[in-house]
Amino acid sequence: MTTETSTARVPELFGHPKGLTFLFATEMWERFSYYGMRTLLVLYMVKHLLQPERAETVIGYDALKSALELIFGPLGIQPFSSHIYGLYTAFVYLTPVIGGLIADRWLGQRRTVIVGAILMAIGHFMMAFETLFLLALFTLILGNGAFKPNISTQVGTLYAPGDPRRDRAFSIFYVGINIGAFFSPLVCGTLGETYGWHYGFAAAGIGMLIGTLIYVAGWSTLPPDEHTRTAREPKRPLDRDEWRRLLALAALFLPVAFFWATYEQQGNTIALWADTRTDRSANLLIWQGQIPVTWFQAFNPFMIFAFTPFVVALWAWQSQRNSEPSTVIKMALGCFAITLANLVLVIATWQAGAGQASWLWLLLYFAIVTIGELYLSPIGLSLVTKVAPARVVSLVMGMWLATSFVGNFIGGWLGSFWSRMENADFFLMIAAVAACAGVVTWLFNRPLKPILRT
């Protein structure tokens, strides 16, 4: 939790500190760059980079393939690509633990964000060179680790303890994330599919540079670094109540990790389903033709900012009637939504038979997944800034984001079964994993509610 020094009056815009606007815009462009590259990643590997005539030119290819085959056995192009996707998206969410520690102990949140942003811009531009592909992913992982926990932490430290605007601020911030994620498949995906993969990757790099410049421009509106605030306070160990809160958060780590393992199939096996098993012919009032595969990755972020006002209004309505679910129950409902979304694709598979399923099934899938995400992700970020002690808040935020490390690693492994299973069986497997995560989370509600006080 933030210290009382955060109560100083700061300039406001639309009822929130001005710093939120700059953090919103910075995160929007960072997510544009991240999702723009992620949209292309599996398709780029399967269709282009990992074809036999090119794969051997990639620095580190033989070593990585040998290491993975030692664990998982012989890997074809698709399973190997899914493993790379899973490793990349996993380590993107492990390195925030290190980034949070660096910020809390030495650099502070603001300077660590700058370091991360520059590294990510470099990594995106490195993607233009096929031989540097794995080194580019490594650079992006390091940059995201420095950037991700510290930008989210600053949203919370804009507000004094107990400020009711904090949850709304994270919902607003989450909309910024998804505006960037919405436009990135349309821009980076279209450039990559139409003009060449490297044009899409370059667009992602430009987006990261724009985000960095916006962050620097808003420097004076940002909250003081937490390590600067706490440096003046006596060093003391965590007390019993603080440890109880941290252990309560830790109890949620594993089921949340399995949520991300199932959710992250969007950029992996769902992209392959859209490419090969979906009838993408659309006859709309304003547009006709084949929907590009990468455009499906824009469905979820568009629905995030379309659905957020309604979800927030529903929670407010429930709160007035003392029926709003607790934070933990909301997370469980988020897991069950992923189960339902995958059952929709099971039905789509049965209905299509040996042919292709209508793209409207994917539209319904993304709608349900989006509701599940809104019930878990933004409130999880807000929860961390509420219950974590100020002197370790970035580290704890990094650890919370690390649930996605475990989830994405598992998700990559699950995705490797795509070409070895019938599609309906695969979607049933993903639905079952999400359902188990939901049940475990629900069972945690009663013991954790008084500790988390939510």
Find the CATH number of the domain harbouring 175.
1.20.1250.20
Output the pLDDT for position 187. Answer: 93
Pairing of strands 288-290, 281-283: antiparallel
Between the alpha carbon of residue 304 and those of residues 38, 351, 383, 426, the distances in Å are 18, 28, 19, 26
Output the pLDDT for position 2. Answer: 39
Residue 410 lies in a domain: yes
- Low-confidence stretches of the chain (pLDDT < 70) are 1-14, 164, 167, 226-235, 285-287, 453-454
Output the pLDDT for position 217. Answer: 95
Output the pLDDT for position 96. Answer: 84
Q: Sign of torsion, CA 255 257 258 263?
A: positive
Q: Which amino acid is at 112?
A: T
Residue 234 lies in a domain: no
| Closest C-alpha among 168, 179, 270, 200 to residue 40 | 200
Task: Give the CB-side neighbour count of residue 448, counting CA atoms within 13 A.
Answer: 24
Residue 229 lies in a domain: no
Distance CA 454, CA 452 (A): 6
| Closest C-alpha among 338, 327, 335 to residue 387 | 327
| Closest C-alpha among 39, 430, 78 to residue 276 | 78
Pairing of strands 357-358, 278-279: parallel
Structural contact between residues 435 and 291, judged by C-beta atoms closer than 8 angstroms: no
Output the pLDDT for position 111. Answer: 92
Between the alpha carbon of residue 272 and those of residues 44, 324, 341, 347, the distances in Å are 12, 38, 17, 18
250 is written with which tokens?
A: 């830790």
Q: Is 442 helix (H, G, I), strand (E, B) or coil?
A: helix
Output the pLDDT for position 208. Answer: 95
| Main-chain dihedrals φ then ψ at residue 12, nearest 5 degrees | -120, 155
Q: Sign of torsion, CA 133 30 376 367?
A: negative
pLDDT > 70: percent of the chain: 93
If one counts every other C-beta atom within 10 angstroms of the C-beta of residue 309, the result is 11
Query: Concatenated DSSP letters for 321-349?
Result: TT-PPPHHHHHHHHHHHHHHHHHHHHHHH
- Burial of residue 42 (number of CB atoms within 10 Å: 0-12, 13-18, 19+): buried
pTM for this one? 0.75
Residue 97 lies in a domain: yes
- 338's CB contacts (< 8 A; 6+ apart) are 259, 262, 263, 368, 369, 372, 430, 431, 434
Distance CA 324, CA 316 (A): 8
Structural contact between residues 298 and 31, judged by C-beta atoms closer than 8 angstroms: no
Structural domain total, the chain: 1
401 is written with which tokens?
A: 């984001």
Output the pLDDT for position 375. Answer: 92
Which stretches of 353-422 are DSSP H helices? Answer: 359-387, 393-401, 403-415
CA dihedral 279, 283, 287, 288 (to 10 degrees): 60
Q: Show the domain range for 411.
A: 11-223+240-279+291-452
Distance CA 175, CA 301 (A): 8
Output the pLDDT for position 112. Answer: 94
Residue 57 lies in a domain: yes
